[in-house]
Chain A
Amino acid sequence: MRDIVYYAAAIMAIAAALLCITRKSPIASALWLVYVLFNLSVLYVLLDAHFLAAVQVLVYAGAIMVLFLFVIMLLNIGRLGVSDVKGAGGKVIALVAGLVLLGELAALGSIELPARMGQPEGAVARMVEQQGAIQALATPLFQQYLVPFELTSVMLLAAVVGAVVLAKRKL
């Protein structure tokens, strides 16, 4: 059952990603991207990252994609007359570059992983079962990675100020 759900979500994510990059209308692209993000959160649940799956839906499919749709509608570019997909030359270049990249990544896949990985199989799933999905993630986040976490808040403040300054007509 897990396998069926896993492969269904994986195939739908890839199909929706292909639709996302080929649709003419930016709105359609954005909505297909939302579909990809939902399917990825299904994969996260099956990979024992329950909290990240929730955050994926809340932050990515919720906040970030709403921001995208808001800007598309604000600029009123939802219905473009002409397609913005490049011509034959651009398509060939994109396809060749994509195939080369996929080949390179596939070559990476043939590398032998070190026999002794950090955790034995199923260790993370057991940890999540014992501590709960949130505490298992929060312990390293607030102990080992506390300084990066605090720095992130400074970065978010900078992003807020930067976005307001850039988008405002006159300060």
Chain B
Amino acid sequence: MPLGPSLLVSAMLFTIGVVGVLLRRNAIVIFMCVELMLNAVNLTFVALSQRLGLEGQVFVFFVMTVAAAEAAVGLAIIIALYRHRDTLNLDSINLLRG
């Protein structure tokens, strides 16, 4: 398969993920947009691994493991946050903003 279209799809998915993070207020939806960005980068790795060797696919393997760990810890944080604040709206979770 050609390299160009894969990189284009990956760039578009990454951009959609960024727009989603900027557009939404719900913590869980923002978290899902971050997963979308991770997947876009994975697609870049797989596409480039066709020309640069299989190491790219090994990196995708590691990214998936890190994403799984990140999802587990992140969702635990969201549960703890919801228990304390009774909301997932990031506009009202502004303790560090002062």
Contacts and interface: CB of A to CB of B under 8 A. Distances in A.
A75 B50 contact: no
Interface string B54-76: 11011011101111111111011
Contacts of B68: 59, 63-64, 156, 159
A21 B54 contact: no
Interface string B20-53: 1011111011011101100100110011011111
A112 to B, nearest CB: 13
Interface in A30-48: 30, 33, 36-37, 40, 43-44, 46-48
A93 interface: yes
Contact of B50 (A63, A94, A119, A165): A119
A72 B27 CA distance: 11
Contacts of A48: 50
Nearest to A3: B1
A17 B1 contact: no
B50 A71 contact: no
Interface size bracket, B side: 35 or more
Contacts of A74: 79
B52 to A, nearest CB: 4
A56 B54 CA distance: 17
Interface of B: 1, 3-9, 11-20, 22-26, 28-29, 31-33, 35-36, 39, 42-43, 46-47, 49-55, 57-58, 60-62, 64-73, 75-80, 82-83, 88-89
Interface of A: 2, 6-7, 10, 13-14, 17-18, 20-21, 26, 29-30, 33, 36-37, 40, 43-44, 46-49, 51-52, 55-56, 59-60, 63-64, 67-68, 71-72, 74-75, 77, 80, 84-86, 90-91, 93-95, 97-98, 101-102, 105-106, 109, 113, 117-119, 121, 124-125, 127, 136-137, 139-141, 144-145, 148, 152, 155-156, 158-160, 162-167, 169
